[in-house]
Structure 1
């Protein structure tokens, strides 16, 4: 039984939910190693670009598409989400988190939720549980930004206050992307975050790695 949608979404998207988001840097580890991200300003710019031009933009659209979709269309959306991953570890990032989210959420809420790419599983779960799409999108993007910020704090390193300044600066970005993505128009998919994609590929061959992506 869900009494407050906001509480449910905060629980789903909190670090305590067992999806393992802490294990993924989304390529930031390689970006730091190569000097592309080296302080609070470059970390903010990097994460903003990922949100606006990369996986943040695409995953929000995929989430909304899954929310609106008929069940028969979900496998195609899930396959598209997996195909959009630019590297093996980025594919692992979305599929492993999606599987963990689906398994836990199905068990807790008693819903039929197969393993799918993370944003697709989240969108479907929100629909099945009657949660509002706008809030789901906004909190998903904020949680994604927080995951990347946490990685940057550990890798650059940044101070905790710098991390909070970064997240504060990105709040209107998350809100805008959520509004734009709400129709779930798959024709709007597209990425221009090429440095982030290349960093994700290079992260796979770093001699020493702290993260899985």
Structure 2
């Protein structure tokens, strides 16, 4: 069942609105920074390696350990740190909206049935970001941390590739090549992220911050970020 639950959490059908966000990719296309499959691979790959794997993934691992240990003080701090790391209003709104939607979904699914205390712990988190809610479900459903990180990075990668297919645009075969090539990086990135000391976390990606800032005033757009 942990594997089944993990697949449910990473399914593109998860109704949290992830498909409506490009995380700056749409502006990168608008300004011709991303024009083809090669450009998309570089843009998405750099974000995967320099932001997701160096900050968000180790934070997810740390949150899962905090959920398991009952350390709700650490969970609130990590949640606040993640919110503070969102450089633009649209990136902050994205994680807040997805977190809210996942909280509602877990209630609708009766996900906490037979898991006393989990619902109240999650509801006690102020302004829960998406990773905070996602890790609550993954931990409660006894998903191993390393497996959860693989799935979390894969879900992000798949969403970015789907955004590239729409925005560049690219064909389905190009999308599969991107997933195959970039997906090969995930096991090594997870191995590095799972125990990365917090002092070494970094999401220094100024290109993403600039793209997201520009996207907020982009005249015509498909995505909310």
Q: Give the match for residue 93 of structure 2.
A: 92
Q: Give the match for residue 144 of structure 2.
A: 132
Q: Give the match for residue 182 of structure 1.
A: 194
Q: 1:10, 1:188 → 2: CA distance? A: 30
Deviation at 1:95, TM superposition (A): 1.4
Q: 2:106, 2:191 → 1: CA distance? A: 25
**Is 2:53–2:190's contact at 8 Å kept on the other side of the alignment?**
no
Deviation at 1:56, TM superposition (A): 4.6
**Is 1:24–1:93's contact at 8 Å kept on the other side of the alignment?**
yes
Q: 1:179, 1:146 → 2: CA distance? A: 20
**CA RMSD between the two structures:** 1.4
Q: Give the match for residue 40 of structure 1.
A: 37
CA offsets, 1:162-209, max 9 Å, x none? 001001001122222222221263222212322122101110010111
Moved over 6 A (4+): none
Compute the TM-score of the two structures, normalised by the length of structure 1: 0.93
CA offsets, 1:123-178, max 9 Å, x none? 22222221111111001101100101000000000010000100100112222222
Q: 1:63, 1:103 → 2: CA distance? A: 20
**Is 1:63–1:184's contact at 8 Å kept on the other side of the alignment?**
no
Q: Give the match for residue 26 of structure 1.
A: 23
Q: 1:12 aligns with which of 9, 16, 23?
A: 9
**Is 2:53–2:193's contact at 8 Å kept on the other side of the alignment?**
no
Q: 2:82, 2:223 → 1: CA distance? A: 21
Structure 1 residues without counterparts, runs of 5 or longer: none
Compute the TM-score of the two structures, normalised by the length of structure 2: 0.88
- Deviation larger for 187-196 or 152-161: 187-196
Q: Does 2:166 match 1:151?
A: no
Aligned length: 210
**Is 1:138–1:175's contact at 8 Å kept on the other side of the alignment?**
yes
